[in-house]
Structure formats: C-alpha cells, structure tokens
Amino acid sequence: MIEFKNVSKVYPNGTQGLKDINVTIEKGEFVVIVGLSGAGKSTFLRSINRLHEITSGEIIIDGSSITEAKGRDLRIARRDIGMIFQSFNLVKRSTVLRNVLSGRVGYHSTLRTVLGLFPKEDVNLAFNALERVNIVEKAYTRSDQLSGGQQQRVSIARALAQEAKIILADEPVASLDPLTTKQVMDNLQKINQELGITTVVNLHFIDIARQYATRIIGLQAGEVVFDGPVEEATDERFSEIYGRPLETREDEEVGASANESAE
C-alpha cells in the first residue's frame, strides 16, 4: 500500500511539482497516471522511491515512511520497489543476465557483488524473471544488441528479480512502436495479475491507459484532477478537465504519418 499524505514539491526555481496530494494506492492495483507533459507525472512516480525528494508531506509504503528513511533503511525500502524507465536504463555493454542480476545487489554486501559472487538462488531468480518476459534465450547477449522492446522487457525482468512488491514504470512505452508497446504492457499486466505486484505506470496516451489500468489518476499542474475507475475516465470527462481530449496513440500515429507525408 502506498499512501501520499499532503505531499507537495516545490522545485528550487519555484515551480510547483506536486501540490498537496492525498492518494492511497492499494496492494495489487494497476494504477495509470495520466496528464499533459509537465503535469507532474514523473515527479509523482519518482517521489515514491525518492529518486526525487518532496518538500512537504509524507509518503508511507506498507506502513513505514519512506520520507523519513535514511541510509540503510532507504536502500531496503527501495529494494522492494522496482522501477522501469522510458529509456530502459540498462548498462548497454553488459550482458542481459548481468543487467538482471544488478537488481539483486541491494540484497548483498558490496564486496560480494563486486566479486560477482551471486548465490545460485539469485541466478535462478534472474532466469525465472527472464522466462516470464520471454527473453531467456538472450541471457548472455550484450544488451545493446537487443531491440528497444526487448531491452524494456529485460528491465522488467530486473524489477522482477529484485522481488519487488511495487513496480513503478515511468513512460515505459514512450520510445516503442505499437506492437512492442503491446508486448511490454501485456507483460506488466500479467505480472500484476499473476504475482499481485502493485503497479503504477505513467502514460502519455489515454487509450493505452484505459486498456490496462484498473484505476486512473489524472494530474494537472501537480494536482490530482481525476481519480477513479477506468469506466469513469471517459473522453468527455477529460475534455472537461483539460480543456481538450488527451492524446491517444492513434492520434500520434496519424500525426506522425501526416508529418512524414508533409516531408
């Protein structure tokens, strides 16, 4: 369970990143955060594992405050939260397996991991995770030889190997084409349903959000302007809130091809 209690964030330049947010995400939910660019989606997500610091309020994860956590406690808290990035953030020159195993380093001493002495169970976990995202045959391939969709699945495997209880995904499909978008989102959904891992995803496109989410949270200028089940997240409702309908993947496809033909 993730609880936001009166969370606000003001950037040093005065921009309001988050504004008095009170949200509770229950275990096992598949929550999608939507909003225009700069609405605070990424800040929201990154404040959960404190890659970004908040300026006031508190975030409580499974009963303990991550806002208060320091040093070792913070690392242990982060260990339970997997994160998936828009640009995959894999070490491109390392093998797939090593990238997945790097999700395990929080569990062991520095010396042990630096010497590469991961226990057998860790290696098993890594292979299991790779199997789950259907990419196990690439285990010893260098990551930069994979396609974007494959790389994103590796980064999902990294979060799985981490044995995370929560997965945060920051625009996981923004750099992928429609087909691989579906594979990656299906993977996330399957993991959410089969393992019951709480999943919070930032998405730019409302149509994909509707397809996968159990609950949608809309942000604007750092404030929660919509919070409800998918059925309520209709186009009319969003047009009302944002003054225009949110983008869909199809819009972008049409726009892109229009641009291409213009060139």
Partner 1 sequence: MSSATRPIKPKKKIYKRWVIYIVLALIYVWALSGVPVEGFKETAGQISKAILSGIFSPDWDYVYLPEGEDLLRGLLDTLAIAILGTFISAFLCIPFAFWAANNMSRIKANAGIGKFFLSFVRTFPELVMALLFIKVVGPGSFAGVLALGLHSIGMLGKLFSEEVENIDLGPSEALKATGARPLQILWFAVFPQVLPGFISYTLYRFEINLRSASVLGIIGAGGIGTPLIFAMQSRDWSRVGIILLGIIVMVTIVDIISGYLRKKIV
Partner 2 sequence: MNQLNEQKLPKAPSRIKHYLTFILILFLLWGSAYQTGSTFNELIEGFPNMFSVLDEMIPPNWAYFDNIIQAMLDTIRMAVLGTTIGAVIAIPFALFSASNMMKSTWIFYPVRFILNLVRTIPELLLAAIFVAIFGLGPLPGIFALGIFSTGIIAKLTYEAIEGIDKGPLESMTAVGANKIQWITFSVVPQVAAYYVSYVLYSFEINIRAAAILGLVGAGGIGEYYDRTLGFLEYDKVSTIIIFTLVVVLIIDYISTKLRENLL
Give me the residues paired with residue 166 across strands: 81, 198
* Partner in contact with 256, chosen from partner 1, partner 2, none, beta carbon below 5 to 8 Å by kind: none
- Using an 8 Å Cβ cutoff, are 222 and 16 in contact? yes
Does residue 127 bind partner 2 (CB under 8 A)?
yes
**Contact present, 161 and 101 (Cβ < 8 Å):** yes
Torsion of CA 137, 105, 180, 177, to 10 degrees: -130
Q: Which of 79, 132, 204, 215 binds partner 1 (CB under 8 A)?
A: 79
User: Which of partner 2, partner 1, none does residue 198 bind (CB under 5 to 8 Å by kind)?
Assistant: none
The strand pair at 30-34 and 2-10 is best described as unpaired
65 binds partner 1 (CB under 8 A): no
- Which positions from 155 to 194 touch partner 1 by CB under 8 A, shown as an x/- string? x--x---x-----x--------------------------
- What backbone phi and psi angles, to 5 degrees, belong to 260? -60, -45
Burial class (CB in 10 A: 0-12, 13-18, 19+), 5: middle
Find the part of the chain contacting partner 1 (CB under 8 A) among 93-101, 198-206, 217-225, 242-250: 93-101
**Taking CB within 5 to 8 Å according to partner kind, which of partner 1, partner 2, none is near residue 92?**
partner 1
* Collapsed DSSP state (helix, strand, coil) of residue 209: helix
Give me the residues that bind partner 2 (CB under 8 A), please.
124, 127-128, 131-132, 136-140
Give me the residues that bind partner 1 (CB under 8 A), please.
49, 51, 74-83, 85, 87-94, 98, 102-103, 105-106, 110, 113-114, 155, 158, 162, 168
